[in-house]
Structures are given as C-alpha cells and as structure tokens.
Structure 1
Amino acid sequence: MSSSAEAEHRVARAAPASQPVFPDEILEEIFLRLDAAADVARASAACATFRRVVSVRRFRSRFRSLHPPPILGVLELESHATGAFHPAEPPHGSAPAARALAQAADFTFSFIDAPGCWRARDSRDGRNFDPFLDPATDDDEDESFRVICVVQCRLKLVTFHFSSVTGEWRVVTFDRRKPLNDLMLICPRMFVRYYAHGCFYWICPSPESSFILNPREMKFSVFDHPRSYKVQAIVELGSGRLGLVNLCCDNFVDYTLELHSKTSRNNGVNTEVWQHDKTIPFPKMEMNCLWNILDAAEG
C-alpha cells in the first residue's frame, strides 16, 4: 500500500462516527428535565432542531406543569394608594429574578392618569377577582386570551365570555334551583371563586348556590360540597382528584384544616362521595386568634 493510501486509511479510521440523531420525542423528554426556563432558552439557541422542539405549545404546557413559575414577590394593594411590589429577598432562589422585575416594572402605575384611582383586578391566571381571565389551554392559539365576566342575579347566574380570536362575546345562563336572598345579592364575597382541573368553582355556604363552570363546554352544574363543613378552598390533587379544604375550630381555640377529596367531575356526572383524607392541626397560640384562608393557587 502506498504512503498516500495508508494516510487516507488512517484518516478514515480516525474520523469520528456521525453524531446520533434523537427524535423530537426524546429531545422533549430531555428538555423537560432541565431545572429552569432559562436553561431551556439557552438550549433552544443551540440549533434549529432544539428551538423547534421547545417552541411547540405542548412542550411549554408540559414544562409549566412540571416546573411551576417561581414566586417573585407580593403586590401590596392599599385602599387609597397605588400598588407597591415587595420582591423576594435572598436566600430565596427567586431573589435575582424578583430584583430584576422590581427594577424593570412600574408598580406605581405612573403610566396611567390618576393612578391612585385605579385598582388591580386580576393576577395569577385569573384566580383572584371578577372579571377574570380564562387560563390558556394547549388548543389555544399563540397570543390569544379569553375574559369571563360574572353576574350574580336572584334567579340566574350569567357569565359573559370574550375571545380574542373571534372578537365576540358569548353568554351562558344558569337557572338557580333556589333564589338568592338579599344578603347574598349585596355581598359578593359570599361567593368565593376557585380554579381547578380546568373548571371554575363558585363556593357559597349553601350547596344549592354553589356552581361549577366548564369554560370549554360552556356548561354550568351544581357543586355538591358537604353541608356540615365550611368550604374554604378548592384545590387540585394528583391523579385528577379534586381537593376540598375546610377550616374548623373548637370554641375558637383549637383550629384544624380538614382535607377531603374525590374524583373531579366528568361532563358534570360524578357519584363518588367526598372522602376525608387528612386533619392538620394549627399551632397553639398564647392568646386567642382567628384564622382564615385568604387564597389558594397552583394546587
């Protein structure tokens, strides 16, 4: 063999094998195991294939479900003043991002006229106040949004739904089994709203006045929570189960949280009864205190 042929043989033998090509499904599972969205963003900048995988709505939805967004801080809303943002502080892991948000955002709302006369009406996927945003799903188009406005009437519950895709409003009406009394009509806080497993829950002390709205099917149904408990929060549990949290007390001294669960409704039909899962006692206090649950979000 000539020297040139030997050289070519050595080069061919030393050449590295071609890199393995992973299908998109394998790449998606790898990227889902990254710790933070910033790591996913850096990976997407490596090549067009990686960017294609992480830009699909299905991947983003799965990543958000496995990696809930970090808490960046607390937005304080005073009765006669503009909002004030209190960012998370070290050693909290969100402190750098919270500090950047505090520097970049204008939480004094100076960009609007008479900022002291405005109030924040919504946050965290529409789970706090009415009117509210309907959280996006995998079927929604990019940059689309939906708004729901609720009207509590004596004999009806009416919701108005707006979609940015169609630019139109739709109305859903539900006839009450039992008319509301005057106290319920003048006190909106009697109806506390929660979001779980894609549905909205309006909770009232009377089970006949508690409702579920499935915004995808545009359908109402009655929420059959136990009469013997004061419902404090509806939360998501694993395996598609629905959680009901109650605050109980004995002579305003011994407080406990009672957790019940059942399978979430399927098309409004569910014959399973509530099961008591756990009792969590509150810490003992030196003086009598009144406990309450202000809100629940992200499960």
Structure 2
Amino acid sequence: MDPAVLEHRREPRARLLPPRHGLQETATLPIPNELVAEIFLRLPTPADLVRASAACASFYRLVASRTFLRRFRKLHRPPLLGFVDGRIFHPVIPPYPSAPAANAVALAADFSFSFLPGPARDWEVLDIRDGRVLLKRPGRQYHEMVVCDPLYRRYLLLPPFPDEQAASLEDPSTIKWYETFLVPAGDEEAATVEETSFRVIWMAQCKFRLFTFVFSSSTGQWGVVPSPSWSDLFAGLPSLEMATPLNTRQYAYGCFYWMAGYMAEAKMLVLDTRRMEFSIAEPPPDGFAMAMVEAGEGRPGVFVNPHGGSKFRYSTMQNDGGSLSQWQEEKTISLGYGYYIIGSTERYLFLYQLQSPLPNPGVFTLDVQTFQLERVCDQHLGHAYSNFPPSLLSSPTVSSGVEKGVE
C-alpha cells in the first residue's frame, strides 16, 4: 500500500522574521559574500541570525539561500522548545534562552493534531524527533501509524507491514516486548538526503530472536533488518536470552542502546542505524538508572545515579584501538537530594526535582559541555520537542506529497 500524504495549507501564524519590504538594499557589501556567510555561520543562536538577516536585503538573500540554511542547521542543533504531553504542548519557561521561540511555536503549531484523520483523540504519541511526531491509533486489523509535522500541519500515513514480512514473525503470543520509534538523521545522512526524509523502526523481542522492520519515507516501504538469534547475540551468556524485556532505550551518535539482563550480568544491545547492525557492548557500572548524551568527538557519554542519592557519575566511552569499547569515569556531580533522571537529548540531561526549596517541582537541563543546571519547565511532562521556531530557519520536516485544501 502506498503511503497517503495530506497537507493543510494553513501557514504558521507566528513568525520571528520581519517582512522583506522593510529591508534596505546595500549598495556594496564591504566584504565578500563567502566571508559574510562564514561569519553568520558562527553566530551563537538562531535568534542572532534572524536579527542579522533583517539588517539589509543582501544579508536576507544570503541567509535565506538553501545552501546556507543547510550548513547552519548542520552546525547548530535546534533548541529545546518544550514538552508534549498527550495533545498539549508545554513551552519552556523564562529565563531559559529559547523561551521566546517556544512561545512562537505554541502559537503557530497544532499539537492537538486536528489536521490528522479524525477523530484526533484516537491518536497516541509514540516518539518525537527532529520536529516530527510519530503517533499510532487502533485499527481494524493493525495499528495505524502516522508521522507528522505539527508546525506545518503535514503528515504521512505509514503503510502496514507487507504480508511476507508479517508472516516472518514468530507466534505473536511469544512477543515479550515491542516498540516503534523515529531514527534521528546523523550528520553524514543529513548532508546527503532531503530534509523531509525520515525513518521509523519497529522492533519486537520474541522467544528466539529480535525482529526489526524499518520504514523509509524515501521509498515508502518497510524493509527487514537482519537480526541474529538471541543465542548468537549473547553467545556464552545463556541466562541473558529473553531474561528481561529490553528497556531504557538511549541514543547517541547514530546508535540506539538498550539494557538487557540483570545487575552483574547486564549487557547493552546496540543498533547502529548507519549500518543497521546489532552488537553487544558493556554497560557502565550501575547503568540501569542512566541517560546517555553526546559528549563530543563522537564519544557517547552517560550519567548514572547509582543509588538514587544526590551524586551523579558522568562517564564517556573511550576509543580503544579505533573502536569505542570502554567506559571511563570523568567526574562525579553532587546536585543535592530530590533530583531524578528522566531522559536526555544530545548534549542535555533531563532531571526532575521533587524536593525543592522552590514552591513547585520542576524539570531541569544539565548541559554536558558546561555542566550548567537550568530550569526549563514546572513539571514532568512527556516527550521533549526541539525544533527551529517559525522563521526562515524552519522548514517542513515531512514531504508535502498530495495536497488537500482547507475549506
């Protein structure tokens, strides 16, 4: 079945960029465009770039070019804008730097998902990545799934698994665990594929092996990822075969990680999304209460709160002869009691503080580069949402395909 794609033409209502008729043309740039572009690429925030582009028409044309925008978005990660809880968007709060952009998105986007095939209340959010939202709803024969862009109100209905792929599954009654999630675009992939391209992975933990299907928006089809048997993956460790459901999915630098097994025998299942290959790695000590981040230079980092106390250990995976294979503790951070790990994204650890001198509990970010702690939200809320706000920096993350007008 080909994916059905529908797009609403309503444009986001809030824009951070002034209209072009207010820009003044400069007679001559004092420095070449190539050098101006290099200067603009080094501006620290998207808001700084928007202000610079508003200075004159020449700057606007330079910044608005597709080539420049792709380079800027590759160098600058989209800011954290808020959290999606069900069908409600909770923007980050001041003084967090991206609070103004978050408020613009709150006005422009539709997180009630009213543009999806109704009724909207049937859709359940499964995952959020790169400005896209993956949702599912019960169907007559299978769960329908959709990937949408709430800022531009575009969506793509995913087709069901082909019959031959569905038939390859073991007895469904042996499925111990399954999940569906979006695959982030790595730096190399982002430079070669369309910005509206994405992938979705469906994984099931069955009795004898792991079954994995991957959907590509480029082909509109599901494919099968070769999955070794449990006995091959955990060779020599029979107690780990189907010991526990895989849990605590983490992501860093093109790889997903899951914990498997118990305590001293625990291992990490690794899926390299660039090669679509599975492997086994050693977890950090006491790694069940953990969250992974990107430490820089391609090295995964991990925060561990071993006993639920006030101390958090930060370790990075070291390069051993060209491969990442060993965890090395970098530092121990003391935050006081009441902080709990609730997730992470790229360079930020998310912490929820229950016991606080402030009137209300809240969500905090810990920057892996500066180790600065900042309050971002008043309560623990769903999936983190990062994106560029409605401006020349933002663009649709789902292909337009067939359009349907709005009456």
TM-score (structure 1 length as normaliser)? 0.71
Between structure 1 and structure 2, the one with the greater Rg is: 1
In 1, Cα distance between equivalents of 2:202 and 2:321: 24
Aligned-pair distance for 1:222? 0.6
RMSD: 3.5
Aligned-pair distance for 1:227? 5.4
* 1:165/1:107 CA distance change after superposition, 3 Å: closer
Structure 2 runs not aligned, ≥5 long: 1-26, 136-178, 348-407
Q: State the AA in 2 paired with 1:123.
A: I
Between Structure 1 and Structure 2, the one with more strand by share is 2
Aligned-pair distance for 1:214? 1.2
Aligned-pair distance for 1:225? 1.4
Partner of 2:39: 30
Aligned-pair distance for 1:196? 0.5
Aligned to 1:154, the other structure's residue is in SS state: coil
Partner of 1:148: 201
Whether the aligned pair in 1 keeps the contact of 2:214 and 2:224 (CA below 8 Å) is yes
TM-score (structure 2 length as normaliser)? 0.54
Aligned to 1:274, the other structure's residue is in SS state: strand
Partner of 2:109: 105
In 2, Cα distance between equivalents of 1:197 and 1:50: 28
Aligned-pair distance for 1:263? 2.8
In 2, Cα distance between equivalents of 1:128 and 1:184: 26
Whether the aligned pair in 1 keeps the contact of 2:129 and 2:184 (CA below 8 Å) is no
Q: State the AA in 1 paired with 2:32.
A: F
Task: Choose from 174, 197, 201 the match for 2:228.
Answer: 174
In 2, Cα distance between equivalents of 1:223 and 1:127: 30
The answer to whether 1:87 aligns with 2:91 is yes
* 1:101/1:50 CA distance change after superposition, 3 Å: closer
Aligned-pair distance for 1:218? 1.5
Q: State the AA in 1 paired with 2:333.
A: I
Mean alpha-carbon deviation: is it higher for 120-129 or for 27-36? Answer: 120-129
Could you report, residue by residue, the CA deviation over 1:189-240 in whole angstroms, capped at 9, with x for unpaired residues? x411111112111123446652111111121111211455535122211232
Whether the aligned pair in 1 keeps the contact of 2:290 and 2:305 (CA below 8 Å) is yes
* 1:226/1:154 CA distance change after superposition, 3 Å: farther
* 1:75/1:264 CA distance change after superposition, 3 Å: farther
Mean alpha-carbon deviation: is it higher for 174-183 or for 131-140? Answer: 174-183
Question: What is the aligned length?
Answer: 259
In 2, Cα distance between equivalents of 1:62 and 1:166: 28
Task: Choose from 249, 257, 264 the match for 2:312.
Answer: 257
Q: How does 1:178-217 map to 2 (within 5 A)?
A: 178=234, 184-185=244-245, 190-206=246-262, 209-217=267-275
The answer to whether 1:60 aligns with 2:81 is no
Identity between Structure 1 and Structure 2 (%): 37
Task: Choose from 169, 181, 204 the match for 1:132.
Answer: 181
Whether the aligned pair in 2 keeps the contact of 1:192 and 1:204 (CA below 8 Å) is no
Aligned to 1:210, the other structure's residue is in SS state: strand
In 2, Cα distance between equivalents of 1:73 and 1:191: 24
* 1:41/1:294 CA distance change after superposition, 3 Å: same
In 2, Cα distance between equivalents of 1:146 and 1:202: 19
In 2, Cα distance between equivalents of 1:121 and 1:235: 21
Aligned-pair distance for 1:140? 1.6
Whether the aligned pair in 1 keeps the contact of 2:302 and 2:314 (CA below 8 Å) is yes
In 1, Cα distance between equivalents of 2:224 and 2:275: 13
Could you report, residue by residue, the CA deviation over 1:19-41 in whole angstroms, capped at 9, with x for unpaired residues? 555363x3442112224334435
Q: State the AA in 2 paired with 1:100.
A: A
Whether the aligned pair in 2 keeps the contact of 1:240 and 1:263 (CA below 8 Å) is no
Whether the aligned pair in 1 keeps the contact of 2:258 and 2:269 (CA below 8 Å) is yes
Aligned to 2:211, the other structure's residue is in SS state: strand
Partner of 2:302: 244
Mean alpha-carbon deviation: is it higher for 87-96 or for 275-284? Answer: 87-96
In 2, Cα distance between equivalents of 1:265 and 1:141: 35
Query: Relative contact order (alpha carbons < 8 A, sep ≥ 6): 1 or 2 greater?
Result: 2
* 1:266/1:109 CA distance change after superposition, 3 Å: farther
* 1:39/1:270 CA distance change after superposition, 3 Å: closer
In 2, Cα distance between equivalents of 1:265 and 1:208: 21
Whether the aligned pair in 1 keeps the contact of 2:317 and 2:328 (CA below 8 Å) is yes
